[in-house]
């Protein structure tokens, strides 16, 4: 049995020719139409006849749609992305019935869109990508090459709301990327004023990318609000707003990539709190700052990079009182507002910087989780706030 290698995906921006862009836009439009029609058919079948349609039945509907006179343009593009759209819809319903996602939504043109091509719909030759029905390869400025001897198994073309084209190449990576073991371990406390505080005492400032572009974004959105919706000028103004949002997103991701790569290279074990970001952004006063910090993306990057490079990422329980607990004696104060950035322990008199103390406590309890193999959380039924192991770990 051949060895099973980890699956990865590299993303590149590319610049299609006029003919390629015309074909790709038609392909995205057909994918969107098929997805929306199949979603409408499945919804109608359930509410009117209490029937559940699956992938096989929607695929049969696609065959019928291609025979209709008003849908003949579906035959002008590759059939593979259309079938993949039905498979993605099936996955969306599977996640919905399993309680992992909400009910699928209809795709909108202004969001761009994507189309997935399997091996039968593209050709990989001499490090170039030839899509179905395209005679010329895609113009891709390679920021990094695929590993030697590796060919992509799936190609996904994506158009973002800012009008930029991206291609994702999915492949099995046979390389051994595990880094040499190092001694340091670090605890991370995420925040708003400081993006993260390390248990070593180092504070990494929050770049606040949104604030850098706020004035430009406000001006562009004000201009958009004055245009008649659906007009050509409205579309131009919408594109300007989307480009600014894309710049904010790109700068945020670039900063997080550099930061997480540094943390992975310098530390063997990284310990962080498991935060419920979706619940935290419900606070209207902090929602924009939390979203701009990108805590969820930070944790996501740490997770897959730790897996790639042989590091250990430990998540402790979100209810652990890392900020309220004295790192010297273990005393837990009853109340510590966010406005209090430094405090003195009433029991031992130790002076604490709120964030550095929290990072040190996260590191300490993370070592306990690593040794015991269990989640740790505060015992709310004891006045001293002693630590106890979670119920799952006691089984």
Note whether 273 and 189 are within 8 A (CB): yes
Known catalytic residue: 273?
yes
Spot the catalytic one: 273, 292, 344, 379.
273
Residue from 206, 207, 182, 203 nearest 358 by CA: 203
- Among 165-179, 315-329, 360-374, top mean pLDDT goes to 165-179
Known catalytic residue: 189?
yes
DSSP state of 215: H
Known catalytic residue: 355?
yes
Count CA atoms closer than 13 A to 57's CA, side-chain side: 10
User: For the chain, which residues make up each domain, given as ranges?
Assistant: 7-172, 185-372
Spot the catalytic one: 76, 151, 189, 297.
189
Across 73-90, average pLDDT: 96
Structure confidence at residue 322 (pLDDT): 87
Structure confidence at residue 339 (pLDDT): 85
- Compute the chain's Rg from CA coordinates: 26
Spot the catalytic one: 51, 250, 355, 379.
355
Across 350-375, average pLDDT: 81
pTM of the entire predicted model: 0.85
Q: What percent of the chain has a predicted confidence (pLDDT) above 90?
A: 72
Structure confidence at residue 319 (pLDDT): 84
Structure confidence at residue 318 (pLDDT): 84
Whether residue 384 has pLDDT greater than 60: no
**Confidence band, pLDDT 50/70/90 cuts, at residue 72:** very high
Structure confidence at residue 368 (pLDDT): 77
The tens digit of pLDDT for each residue in 300-320 reads: 999 999 999 999 999 988 888
Q: What percent of the chain has a predicted confidence (pLDDT) above 70?
A: 92
The tens digit of pLDDT for each residue in 4-20 reads: 788 999 999 999 999 99
Query: Rounded CA gap, 16 and 139, in Å?
Result: 6
Structure confidence at residue 392 (pLDDT): 39
Query: Rounded CA gap, 330 and 209, in Å?
Result: 37
Structure confidence at residue 374 (pLDDT): 47
- Span of 72-76, 155-159, 182-186, 385-389 with lowest mean pLDDT: 385-389
Is residue 238 helix, strand or coil? Answer: helix
């Amino acid at each position: 049995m051949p060895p099973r290698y980890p699956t990865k995906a590299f993303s590149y921006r590319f610049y299609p020719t006029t003919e390629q862009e015309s074909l790709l836009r038609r392909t995205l439009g057909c994918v969107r139409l098929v997805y929306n029609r199949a979603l409408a058919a499945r919804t109608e079948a359930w509410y009117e006849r209490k029937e559940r349609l699956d992938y096989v039945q929607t695929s049969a509907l696609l065959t019928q749609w291609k025979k209709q006179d008003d849908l003949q343009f579906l035959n002008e593009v590759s059939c593979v992305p259309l079938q993949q759209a039905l498979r993605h819809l099936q996955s969306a319903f599977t996640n919905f019935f399993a309680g992992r996602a909400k009910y699928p939504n209809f795709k909108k043109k202004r969001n761009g869109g994507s189309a997935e091509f399997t091996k039968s719909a593209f050709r990989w030759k001499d490090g170039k990508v030839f899509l179905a029905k395209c005679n010329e390869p895609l113009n891709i400025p390679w920021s990094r090459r695929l590993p030697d001897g590796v060919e992509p198994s799936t190609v996904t073309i994506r158009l973002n709301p800012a009008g930029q084209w991206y291609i994702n190449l999915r492949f099995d990576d046979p390389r051994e990327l595990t880094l040499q073991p190092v001694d340091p371990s670090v605890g991370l406390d995420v925040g708003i004023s400081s993006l993260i505080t390390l248990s070593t005492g180092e504070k990494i400032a929050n770049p606040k990318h949104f604030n850098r572009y706020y004035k430009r974004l406000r001006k562009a959105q004000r201009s958009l609000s004055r245009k008649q919706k659906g007009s050509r000028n409205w579309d131009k103004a919408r594109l300007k707003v989307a480009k600014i949002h894309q710049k904010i997103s790109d700068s945020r991701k670039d900063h997080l990539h550099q930061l997480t790569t540094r943390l992975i290279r310098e530390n063997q074990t990284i310990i962080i709190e498991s935060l419920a970001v979706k619940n935290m952004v419900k606070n209207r006063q902090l929602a924009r700052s939390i979203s701009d910090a990108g805590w969820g993306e930070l944790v996501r990057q740490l997770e897959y990079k730790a897996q790639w490079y042989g590091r250990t990422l430990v998540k402790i329980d979100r209810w652990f009182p890392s900020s309220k607990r004295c790192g010297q004696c273990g005393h837990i104060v009853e109340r510590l507002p966010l406005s209090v950035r430094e405090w003195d322990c009433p029991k031992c008199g130790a002076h604490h910087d709120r964030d550095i103390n929290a990072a040190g406590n996260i590191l300490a309890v993370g070592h306990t989780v690593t040794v015991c193999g269990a989640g740790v959380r505060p015992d709310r039924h004891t006045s001293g706030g002693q630590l106890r192991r979670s119920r799952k770990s006691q089984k």
